[in-house]
Structure 1
Amino acid sequence: MSKQHLVIDNGSYNIKAGFNTGEESKPIKVPNIISKTKDGHIHIGNQYEKHTNNYSQIQFKSPFEQGHLTSWETEKPIWDYTFDLTSKKEIDPSSTHLILTETPFQLPQLSINTDQIVFEEYGFNEYYRCAPASLVPFSIDSSVINFDFNLIIDSGHNFTWIIPVIYQNIYWAGVKKLPIGGKVLNNLLKEFVNFRHYDISDDPILVNTIKESTCFMADDFNQTLKKKLNNGCEFILPDFKITTTGFVKTTETIPPDAQVLKLYDERFIVPETFYHPEILFDNNSTTSSNQLVQSAPFKNLIDLIKESIYACPEITRPLLSANICLVGGTTNILNFQPRLLSELQKELPSNWKVRIFDNYNDIPKDEMQWYGGINLSNEDVLKDITISKKEYFEHGSNWCQKQFGFKNIT
């Protein structure tokens, strides 16, 4: 049997998985969760979408904690379910090469656990494990973006990572992490809505839907705040008759008994946490009155991008600023790219070109890493960075970590 190439971008929100099938290659997306609906049924991945019309009080269990894959007891059934969806026939791991992504700076023991599952539980024949950002250069258009110097801003469910990639290798000394992602924004929006309107604590899907359909990044936060009444919108809450998820009211007529959620400054204050992280503490009952917390300096997205660029070799800095790539689902927030461009142009040297890319020939920004893995599987270099099952059993469980683990740079 000929060797197959399987790419799994194992995100904490969605798994993107699929085989290299040439130009027709396309990933399937599976929520990386096990859920329990209020009727007591357990669902894996996206099964809950077909088995219930009432998402209220749904409970999610993730194999990730603080962005790290900590529970293979939870992850393995999700992988098994994903494999069933990925291939019409049963996957033969013994003839499959696996490219797998993991969180940057993953704890070594957790990475070793993953290697054991890959080789000892599933029996994959060949394997390459890497941080998602390292795959992005393989999915960009090199005629538009410099293939050799990229600053990847990957904003996902748990965190926002700023990762310089130089000659297709992560420059680890410049990697920075902002502990703000989709999950933090959801929790903040939930606090606003609970306090001002309705208690939606038991409906995480509704919170996420409201965020994705109403939130936007302000061009100028202070000016937008002054005109907050001009930025209002009405969100129709689910009634499980005409809608199970809710939607933004437009000009269509709605039933007179529909519950309407009126949103104003919440729409842009929530995403503003990327630039003013103190908003999180101002709206938390525990920290809002804590003087130590209130007086502490918090680094925002711009601070960390500057630190990342200046941690890289001097000659590469203007090249990185000219080739910034946005990836990850949270960067889909309306106006994310223009606001970031405006802020960076104020802070970086005036003789540097600042370019931020977020349009990749119709590839969704949360799939860039997966397509990069597909393109990497066509490259000759893959054989030089791959570990085989034979090598794994010859050298022991630490071998993969020595080959794949992040390299400290002094």
Structure 2
Amino acid sequence: MAPPVFILDNGASTIKCGFAQLNPKPRLIPNRVARLTKGFRQLFIADELEKCTAWEDLHWRVPFERGILTNWDIEKVVWDRVFSPAVMNVDPRELSLLVTEPPLNLPNVAASYDQMVFEEYEFASYFRCTSAALIPHGKLYGPKMPDAAILVESGHSFTHVTPLLRGVPVPAGIRRIDIGGNMMTNHLKTILSFRQFEMMDLGWVVQDIKHRLCYVSQDFKADIEAAHITQSKGADGKIPPNPLSRSYVLPDLAAEMLGHSLPTGRARSPTHPDHPTVSLTNERFSIPELLFHPSNIGLPQAGLAECVQQAIAALPEEARALAWYNIGVIGGSTMFNGFCQRLESEIRRRAPTHFRVVIHQAEDPITCTYTSAVPFAQSRQYHQLAVTKQQYEEVGSSGLRRLLAGDKRASLTPVPASSKRKAELLEEDEDEEDGAHATEEEDEEEVVPKRAKARAGRRVSGAGRAGIGKKKSASASGSGTPLPPTPAPAPIPLAAHGRQTRSRAKAG
């Protein structure tokens, strides 16, 4: 009997987790730890942060840095809390684990995943993949997954654009932007601290300001000009506030940890008139603009629309029309007001005029990966693709990487019945490529015995070389017998390569 599956969408900001058979909606747990800098220096792990009332005295530590898991000591503490009976009550030896990883993950980080899952927690089996490999099992693109699509994933610490061909990610077309929600929060924190109040230690307050007041501009130049227009005096002799300006009332950090925003035209809170307020004008739309123009802060990288164009160009020409029509967006940083409208207008300028551009937005961009993983974890395909602990002990992390990224991944998503003509064209291209590879393999088979004979001739003595030379000349003239082929060396078992120790996993 197949073991139950526990899904762990290991995000840089929050962990979305639950049992595939029991939890259609995930539980969100912060992926971080914090310690008080005063008093008893109490440690708060993951969901325990809800009990803390002195966030201004916390020293935060996170396992992810720019989308890469760099601190396994912190991650293990968080996972211990998630698997504990107080949170999810997970028994690893009786379960299978489905865990997500960032696109184009580093090999040493992937090997640390394997060692942590099988050596530290001893799960019965597990499967590791990216969010893009799970999205085709959901309903982001509709009831059926199209043959070609583009996935835009903008999370806490990165933004990735992944092309999908028949539900399988195309690694050559993946594009990355080093901008996520964390960088935008830090940039807004720096601007507000320079222009108004010192807020470098109030990151959670600045994040709430970003979520409440920031939006994506549809015309950045026009909004910049409107934000700097000086309003004329009204009938009462006062200068009215700018229409784009909004205010945020700061919390007192004693009875409340978060503030609240005020409606347009109001600068003071009627319920908290003594609390200071922060006013935002051009900051409201200049922060999300970094996703479309990273060069605004000196990052020499392409914007989001240009990355989508490059990802579509990596697909076969027959599949590009479907890719322009199926562009999905997930992740917390895609929840700004006006994000999809701006992305569609930017992509429309770069798309061919006879192609239609359609943006598919998830109902819940944060939990979309988890909800897409649930039907996959409940299917038979998952247990066929999952790697067992016995296989890990036999082949190690290097062999496990080949199993998880092998030919089985190509059959992860069935090909839908729509767009039959385009699918036939793609199959014809693949058949031509397979034929070319087959001819190359036949040529290699003819070359290998000759090289083996030459190597065998180098090992013998001078007399032996002379004898071999006579036999070769005789066989070339048709009067002699050819040499028997040299047997190929026995393959080295994968287990002989060894595995990294647990200390190496922690160092990684």
Residue 276 in structure 1 maps to residue 293 in structure 2: yes
CA distance in 1, matches of 2:93, 2:110: 21
Aligned to 1:378: 378
Alignment pair present for 1:332 and 2:335? yes
Residue 11 of structure 2 is matched in structure 1 by: 11
Could you tell me which residue of structure 2 aligns to residue 317 of structure 1? 320
Distance in structure 2 (CA, Å) of the matches to 1:121 and 1:104: 24
1:287 is matched with none
- Tell me the percent identity: 29
Query: Is residue 8–residue 99 contact of structure 1 (8 Å, CA) maintained in 2?
Result: yes
Cα distance in structure 2, aligned partners of 1:85 and 1:157: 28
Partner of 1:240: 253
- 1:179-202 Cα distance to aligned partner (Å, 9 max, x none): 111011011101110111011001
Q: Which runs of 5+ in 1 are unaligned?
A: 282-292
Partner of 2:394: 394
Per-residue deviation, 1:219: 1.0
Deviates more, 1:321-330 or 1:92-101: 92-101
Shift of the alpha carbon at 1:242? 5.7
- Displacement, 1:70? 2.1
Report deviation, 1:406: 8.9
Task: Name 2:106's counterpart in structure 1.
Answer: 107
Q: Is the 8 A contact 1:172 1:406 kept in 2?
A: no
Deviates more, 1:300-309 or 1:376-385: 376-385
CA contact (8 A) 1:102 1:132 kept: yes
Counterpart contact for 2:83–2:91, Cα < 8 Å: no
Q: CA deviation at 1:59?
A: 2.0
Task: Rate the CA distance shift 1:406–1:302 in 2: closer, same or farther, 3 A.
Answer: farther
Once the two structures are superposed, what CA deviation does each residue of 1:232-283 show, in whole Å capped at 9, x if it has no partner? 10100011356321110247623221111011000001111112212213xx
Judging changes above 3 Å, is the alpha-carbon distance between structure 1 residues 170 and 153 closer, same or farther for their aligned structure 2 residues? same
Alpha-carbon contact 2:148-2:320 (below 8 Å) kept? no
The code of the aligned residue for 2:338 comes to N
Aligned equivalent of 2:361: 358
State how far apart, in whole Å, the 1-side matches of 2:48 and 2:97 are: 25
Q: Is the 8 A contact 1:327 1:358 kept in 2?
A: yes
Are the equivalent residues in 1 in contact too, given 2:65–2:157 (CA < 8 A)?
no
1:116 alignment partner in structure 2:
115
**1:216–1:268 CA contact under 8 A, matched in 2:** yes
**Aligned residue in 1 for 2:244:** 231
What TM-score, normalized to structure 1?
0.89
Q: 1:21 to 1:200 in 2, by over 3 A?
A: same
Alignment of 1:6-405 (within 5 A): 6-21=6-21, 24-39=23-38, 40-52=41-53, 54-84=54-84, 90-140=89-139, 143=142, 146-228=145-227, 229-240=242-253, 243-250=256-263, 253-281=270-298, 298-360=301-363, 364-405=364-405
Q: Secondary structure at the match of 1:357?
A: strand
Q: CA deviation at 1:397?
A: 2.4
Relative contact order, CA 8 A, sep 6+: which one is greater? 1
Q: 2:135 touches 2:369 (CA, 8 Å); kept in 1?
A: yes
Q: How far has the Cα of 1:398 moved from its partner?
A: 1.5
1:379-400 deviation digits (Å, cap 9, x = unpaired): 2222332111111111122122
Residue 80 and residue 266 in structure 1: after superposition, are their counterparts in 2 closer, same or farther (change >3 A)?
Answer: same
Rounded to whole Å, the distance in 2 between the matches of 1:249 and 1:167 is 47
Q: Which has the larger radius of gyration?
A: 2
Residue identity opposite 2:274 in structure 1: D
Letter of the 1:378 counterpart? Q
- Larger proportion of helix: 2
Which amino acid is 1:319 matched to?
Answer: L
1-structure distance, mates of 2:17, 2:51: 20
Distance 1:406 1:277, change over 3 A: farther
Deviations 1:293-328 (A, max 9, x none): 8xxx64111111111110111111111111111101
One-letter amino acid matched to 2:359: I
Asked whether the equivalents of residues 163 and 171 of structure 1 are also in contact (C-alpha less than 8 Å), the reply is: yes
Which stretches in structure 2 are left out of the alignment for 5+ residues?
Answer: 228-241, 408-432, 434-508
Give, in whole Å, the separation in 2 of the partners of 1:310 and 1:2: 41
TM-score (structure 2 length as normaliser): 0.73
Query: Which residue of structure 2 lines up, in the alignment, with residue 290 of structure 1?
Result: none
CA contact (8 A) 1:151 1:162 kept: yes
Residues 139-178 of structure 1 deviation map (CA, whole Å, 9 limit, x = unaligned): 1156456443221100001110000122221111110001
> What amino acid is the match of 1:69?
L
CA shift for structure 1 position 87: 5.9
CA contact (8 A) 1:153 1:162 kept: yes
Q: Is the 8 A contact 2:325 2:359 kept in 1?
A: yes
In 1: Cα distance, 2:131 partner to 2:145 partner: 18
Q: In the aligned structure 2, how far is the partner of 1:33 from the partner of 1:46?
A: 9
Q: CA deviation at 1:34?
A: 0.8
* Structure 2 Cα separation of the partners of residues 148 and 86 of structure 1: 43
8 A Cα contact 1:112 1:398, kept in partner: yes
| Paired residues of 2:8 and 2:16 also in contact (CA < 8 A) | yes
Matched positions, count: 388
* Larger CA deviation: 56-65 vs 177-186: 56-65
Asked whether the 8 Å contact 2:17–2:26 carries over to 1, the reply is yes
- Once the 2 structures are TM-superposed, how far is the Cα of residue 226 of structure 1 from its aligned partner? 1.7
